[in-house]
Amino acid sequence: MCGIVGYIGTRPALPILIRGLRSLEYRGYDSAGVATPGTDGLRIVKASGRLDRLIERVEQTVDDTATIGIAHTRWATHGPPTEANAHPHADCSGAVAVVHNGIIENFSELKLWLEKSGHRFVSETDTEVLAHLIEEYHENDLSASVRAALRHLRGTYGLAVMHAAHPREIVVARLGSPIVIGIGTGETLVASDPSALVGTTRNVMYLDDGEMARLDASGVQVTTLQAAPVEKALQEIQWTEKEIEKGGFAHYMLKEMHEQPETVRSALRGRLASDGGVTLGAFSDLRAALKDMRRIQIIACGSAYYASLVGAQMIERLARIPVSVDLASEYRYREPVMPSRTALLAVSQSGETADTLAALRLAKNAGLMTMGIVNAVGSTIAREVDAGIYNHAGPEIGVASTKAFVSQLSVFLVFALALGRERGLPPDEAERIAKALELLPMQIERVLRSRDQVAEWASQLSEKRHVMYLGRTLHYPIALEGALKLKEVSYLHAEGYASGEMKHGPIAMVEAGFPVVALAPHDAVFEKVKNNLEEVRARGAKTFAVTTPEGLRTLGRAADNALEIPTTHPLVQPILSVIPLQMLAYETAVAKGLDVDKPRNLAKSVTVE
């Protein structure tokens, strides 16, 4: 959610810190700040609003020769997005600077205790108590002071700390919020997301929960919160700085939509043969357990949840295994039944989604076999599951997920095929699906060329206040995803419904000019969706349909507007169908003059509840 960057080395720190913050802007924020050594302690500069405001202040007030510093972008949680509430936060003397992601649940009681001890608070945030706790316990060892402070906390944190009395070190710690450390030549970095490090180093290590580290220019020493040494292996970030640039596109979202043909190729590469054979190396040791499995529980949030609703149908159709799908935030608290011979599958683009991670750990503690579909290599979920599949979508910078969603659907289908082959799926059916997936990248490219038509739809929707999306079976979750995309970037109220539920309430919303977008490929339920369109059109709705060539010929007057997409295998069709809905959300936001890549109130990775 919020973003952390820190640097210690021989080069000026500020340009590296600012570049790191720039790379984290996509995560969402409403204030920013930086701390570096000054002539009489630490110098902290903060600003509300966009990063450019901070940069203006930094250029006016900060000595740019400092070779150590920490910086932060904040999404307001405790207290509004004011300069006082921005990070870094200091103690009473100004000797301590703290940047923090997460939530300190018991900050109110800690604040009362510290105030009675004479500490003076200047913000409304939970984070400030950390700075005062470190001040309270500080003697000569910064790591020991941080360790003592953390013993009082209840909640989650990823944090970085500087102290004026220790001008050549940064202390970091993690519990429930990501921290990644970058190792360069004569320099060490820290960030909450590896994208902030790519421009400086690609050699990283990831802290696990309950670990902390002391950073200096020569390297890093990792320990537990109990001061026991921890050996950490270095990993290499697999993508380059070029991959997190816009590459000539107006927005990251537009760029990432156009990367989707390659996204599908990457998801399939080395895994799927043209005859339908599937190779998933990570699952080789679990092959017997997978074959004996009686049930799968899938947990996810947001777009990953909608991808999972599609994936559940893919698995049930091909492998004939009962599958349930839960919002991870609900699964945690509803006392779920976890019978034996059940596997839990966690789906998360970032691999750090707080609710999904907590639900995963609940299942692990219950003894379930755990699996994951994750895009971020080295992420916490990827490290904690028994076996997993990487999306290989590359970095997704746009807050509204596009290529990660498509890669999740692609990986789900490959996984469903693998299970199906183990459980008697006819080889000819597997081959048909494999051939359809081989054609999918070219078909996506064809749909992306429909931008002008989609933009014309967007010009109509941009003047509306409400939009309804309809779909059935595999396309019901795609309707949900299409509505979510429109809400996220255009701020129009949109809802997705299963078409068969229209008469159970939603049709009451329909009036003259009310826009209804239907997913209507010519499949087994085409006639039913067509009837739904007729029903809403008879009540004055303005109808839009995403359909296939045969559907286009037979929709007739049911659709005022129709966009044609290629016909493919029924299980592949929803992957194609979502592309126009992504484009429609994007073009509607553009037509309204909105900042597509920085939608209000949203963050790319939700690492707190």
The per-residue pLDDT for 460 is 94
158-215: per-residue pLDDT in tens? 999 999 999 999 999 999 888 999 999 999 999 998 888 988 898 999 999 999 999 9
On the 0-12 / 13-18 / 19+ scale of CB atoms within 10 A, 199 is middle
The per-residue pLDDT for 518 is 95
- From 403, 530, 598, 604, active-site residue: 604
On the question of pLDDT at 240 being above 90, the answer is: no
pLDDT band for position 607 (cuts 50, 70, 90): low
Q: What fold characterizes domain 246-438?
A: Rossmann fold (3.40.50)
**If you write DSSP's letter for every residue of 415-479 in order, what string do you get?**
HHHHHHHHTT--HHHHHHHHHHHHHHHHHHHHHHTTHHHHHHHHHHHTT-SEEEEEE-TTHHHHH
526-535: per-residue pLDDT in tens? 999 999 999 8
406-436: per-residue pLDDT in tens? 999 999 999 999 999 888 899 999 999 999 9
Closest CA to 5 of 146, 175, 142, 199: 199
On average, the pLDDT of the chain sits at: 91
On the question of pLDDT at 609 being above 60, the answer is: no
* pLDDT above 70: percentage of residues in the chain: 97
Q: Which CATH number applies to 451-591: 3.30.70.1450, 3.90.650.10, 3.40.50.10490, 3.10.450.50? A: 3.40.50.10490
1-37: per-residue pLDDT in tens? 688 999 999 999 999 999 999 888 876 678 899 999 9
Residue 23 phi, psi dihedral angles, 5° rounding: -70, -15
The per-residue pLDDT for 350 is 87
Domain residue extents for the chain: 3-243, 246-438, 451-591
Q: What's the rounded Cα separation, in Å, for the pair 138 and 134?
A: 6
Domains 246-438 and 451-591 share a fold: yes
- For the question of residue 403 being annotated catalytic, the response is no
The per-residue pLDDT for 62 is 64
On the question of pLDDT at 241 being above 80, the answer is: no
- For the question of residue 291 being annotated catalytic, the response is no
94-151: per-residue pLDDT in tens? 999 999 998 899 999 999 999 999 999 999 999 999 999 999 999 889 999 999 999 9
Q: Looking at domain 3-243, does it have CATH number 3.60.20.10?
A: yes
Contacting residues for 452 by C-beta, under 8 A, at least 6 apart: none
- From 2, 111, 255, 598, active-site residue: 2
451-474: per-residue pLDDT in tens? 999 999 999 999 999 999 999 999
Diameter of the chain by CA atoms? 79
The per-residue pLDDT for 608 is 53
